[in-house]
Structure 1
Amino acid sequence: MVNEYDPDGYERGRADGYTKGMRDGYNKGLEDAKDASVNPPLNAISLKWREYQCADKFAAHFGSAVKLNDRNMEELKETAKSAIWKLEIAVNGNSVPIILKMFKAPIADQDLIELNMYREASGILSDLMPAIFMIQERMNGDDTWVFMEYVPQLKGQVIFTPDHFDRIIPALAKLHAQTYNDRFYSHWDLFADWLPRYDSETTSLERQKTHKETLEYLDKAMERPELRQRLETSSDMLRRVLKKGPIYFPELVQAGKSIIHNDLQTPNIGCGNVEEADWNIKFIDWEGARFAPCWFDMFNLIGVFFAYRKDWRSAEESVIHRCAHLYAAEMLKYGIRFDGDPVRLYKMAYLQRVLERSLHLQLHWATDGQKPAFLLEGYLEKINVWGKELGLHA
């Protein structure tokens, strides 16, 4: 028997097959979606969490079973050197946010300072740093992952004003007091190999190099008409002052050194109880840490704020007076007494940091066109006014 070709049947079969394929594909997709909602696909962090049995290591810290929420991960920042993620773990039925900071290999010198602060200093400064839950080496090759406490940044929580300095300075004094002078050297074995020191030969040579370059940039700036106009009333004074460097105030060094944070902007200051009168401050991002004159952090906290905030300049002198005396009083609680006027020490710290570093950057940016030198005039004014007051112009 010869089968005759049935064009209508062929088309019906083709249509039925297409419909069935669409229906089966839809049902399979629906099943996969339902399965993914219960068991989402694991990303690299989740896989490494399981591979290195992080839950067991966290349980030792929290004293209870810990589970990573694979569905709640947020990348906060990524650069060529590092990445920062906000994760969530479940502990005793509660959701706890944590931070994962990934240091990418090869780890740069500044990042190595921060990483070593987490490795070595967290035990000494535990009240003032995020708690470190776990440090895992050799992730994805030679990367290092640090799991730490999540501390909300001040930035975004408050509209920052100089009144807020009063809530930060007690924590800053506590930080400095714990590693002040001999208290630092009692932990010498922890810091000797990696923490920059203001009095080291390496740092001294860097300071001399920067001092020489600052004078060179000043000469270059005076050859450019637009910069000459900005500098001509100050250039002679500036050269006289710079010739006294690079250490302009030996008494500032004699006032004492400690571990300083060195970058006290509001994104680097954390607080989880801003609604309360007494803030529980923790300092974040320690890549600038070093052993240096403790008053430098007061410049980092207050001086940099006023340099950028012209709207508060009229209150600067009164704020400096209040905050310098508050800092001295807080340090006294830890048995540290400063000789001389705290306001004078603050102004010395301001000028020393400007003359040894900030002025160099402003002149460099101005002459090479890298960035606008927004702060140049303000720094020149301080060098002129406070320099006279502190005897630098003599």
Structure 2
Amino acid sequence: MAGKTINGSTIIHFWNEHQLSKHIESAFGKEAELNRRGMKCFKDSFKSSIWKLNLLTKKGPSSIILKVFKSYDREKNAVELNMYSKARKAFGDFMPEIYHAEYSKESKNVWVLMETIQSLESQVVYTPHHFDQIIPALAKMHARMHGHRFYEHRDVFAGWLPEYHSEEKIQRRNEIKELTLAYLEKAMNRPDLNAVLAPSYSQIQRIIRKGPHYFPELLEAGQSICHSDLQALNIGCNNIKDARWNVKFLDWEGARYDPCWFDLVSLVGVFLSYRDDWRKDETAIVARCARLYADEMRKYGIVFKQDPVTLYTMAEMQLILEKNLYLQLYWEVEGVKRGYLLRGYMEKINKAGKQMGL
């Protein structure tokens, strides 16, 4: 059944039944076999299961990543699978190598064998200094399908890649705008949330009503195929000791055609939101990263008319106002979980709102 838990026995049975050793011969040789010991599960949810498998090869022990996409008809799984197959020609050098994909008619799951890429999270004490190694790769990736370059190859992505300006996404942003206003009202009835919201409630309400599109400059700066979830766990590198990293991006389920500056916020802004130890340096970190990104994009013929720090701030505000503020309020009001970033978002909206005339 779709969504069924994957375990070691399931993997061994599927591996043998579908003779997966034969499908990885070109990468590991004809003698490659699955080592039944030492399988490690990184994740097993209703959506996917991710394992590190050990191999016995003629050249010695090796490893491979198995990702089982449960229920292929789920939209996000379909996006990631299509990125690995249909978009590989454009983005293969930014992804793990895919050795084989096998569809199970019985479970309707897709089993994908891919290259083992070590995440940054498992190798370094992740700090903003590492952004200097990641941003050049991010800019190079964005430049591949930026603006008109995307439309020249749109047939490759048509029908499966979410696009920011599509009618569906615009409608959803309008829906979230109304939901945000409704949850703001509900949150004001909670004493603990009222204390956070009351000082700027009227201003926030007025700003949200202007939306959901606040900064046309972001669209003018151009859209690219974005990863959208650039946490350390989803950024990999197998040559971490070298001066220049060969960066790969992992877990592409959130891929979409978005304003390109959104990904820089995903990389830098989300990290800073959760790291109090670096918050005092946020202005300097953002300035350095935004300018580095603009400089790297210029190498590929993409020149931004607006100041890079201003574009970054616009992207951060747009994401907060069109989605992230709603999520924090929803989680708190409905008791899903704590909205740890709510206070910080309110401070950012107040500050940037005044700077940008919102």
Normalising to structure 2: TM-score of the pair?
0.93
Does structure 1 residue 48 correspond to structure 2 residue 14? yes
Aligned partner of 2:5 in structure 1 is none
> Residue type matched to 2:172 in 1?
E
* Structure 2: distance between partners of 1:115 and 1:323: 31
Does structure 1 residue 346 correspond to structure 2 residue 309? no
Aligned partner of 1:237 in structure 2 is 203
1:191–1:63 Cα change, 3 Å: farther
Aligned with 2:199: secondary structure?
coil
* Structure 1: distance between partners of 2:92 and 2:98: 9
- Contact kept, 8 Å, 1:262 with 1:290, in 2: the verdict is yes
> Residue type matched to 2:347 in 1?
E
State the shift of 1:52 in Å: 2.4
Aligned partner of 2:98 in structure 1 is 132
Aligned partner of 2:241 in structure 1 is 275
Instruction: Give the alignment partner of residue 292 of structure 1, picking from 258, 267, 276.
Output: 258
* Structure 2: distance between partners of 1:214 and 1:44: 43
1:141–1:366 Cα change, 3 Å: closer
* Structure 1: distance between partners of 2:344 and 2:205: 17
Percent identity reads: 48
> Residue type matched to 1:224 in 2?
R
State the shift of 1:185 in Å: 1.9
1:278–1:187 Cα change, 3 Å: same
* Structure 2: distance between partners of 1:384 and 1:293: 23
Aligned with 1:127: secondary structure?
helix
- Contact kept, 8 Å, 1:268 with 1:283, in 2: the verdict is yes
Aligned with 2:121: secondary structure?
coil
Runs of 4+ in 1 over 6 A off after TM superposition: none
Please list, as runs of the form range in 1=range in 2, the aligned pairs for 1:81-92 lying within 5 A after superposition. Answer: 81-92=47-58
State the shift of 1:345 in Å: 0.3
Aligned partner of 1:223 in structure 2 is 189
Aligned partner of 1:364 in structure 2 is 330
Q: 1:121-151: CA deviations, max 9, x gaps?
A: 2221111111111111125431110111110
Structure 2: 5+ residue stretches without partners: 1-7
Instruction: Give the alignment partner of residue 57 of structure 1, picking from 15, 18, 23.
Output: 23
C-alpha RMSD over aligned residues: 1.7
- Contact kept, 8 Å, 2:94 with 2:248, in 1: the verdict is yes
- Contact kept, 8 Å, 1:363 with 1:373, in 2: the verdict is yes
Aligned partner of 2:349 in structure 1 is 383
> Residue type matched to 2:186 in 1?
K
Deviates further, 340-349 or 65-74: 65-74
Does structure 1 residue 334 correspond to structure 2 residue 304? no
Q: 1:23-56: CA deviations, max 9, x gaps?
A: xxxxxxxxxxxxxxxxxxx944234333323233
Aligned with 1:123: secondary structure?
helix
* Structure 1: distance between partners of 2:55 and 2:23: 13
Aligned with 2:66: secondary structure?
strand
State the shift of 1:111 in Å: 1.9
Instruction: Give the alignment partner of residue 125 of structure 2, picking from 152, 159, 166.
Output: 159
* Structure 2: distance between partners of 1:267 and 1:278: 19
State the shift of 1:179 in Å: 1.2
Structure 1: 5+ residue stretches without partners: 1-41
* Structure 1: distance between partners of 2:254 and 2:266: 11
Aligned partner of 1:191 in structure 2 is 157
Deviates further, 315-324 or 219-228: 219-228
Aligned partner of 2:4 in structure 1 is none
Aligned partner of 1:266 in structure 2 is 232
Instruction: Give the alignment partner of residue 340 of structure 2, picking from 350, 365, 374.
Output: 374
* Structure 2: distance between partners of 1:291 and 1:229: 38
Deviates further, 364-373 or 311-320: 364-373
> Residue type matched to 2:155 in 1?
D
Does structure 1 residue 302 correspond to structure 2 residue 268? yes
> Residue type matched to 2:249 in 1?
F
* Structure 1: distance between partners of 2:58 and 2:172: 51
State the shift of 1:62 in Å: 5.2
State the shift of 1:106 in Å: 5.7
Aligned residues: 351
Instruction: Give the alignment partner of residue 100 of structure 1, picking from 60, 66, 71.
Output: 66
> Residue type matched to 2:64 in 1?
I
> Residue type matched to 1:136 in 2?
E
Aligned partner of 2:42 in structure 1 is 76
1:296–1:229 Cα change, 3 Å: same
Normalising to structure 1: TM-score of the pair?
0.85
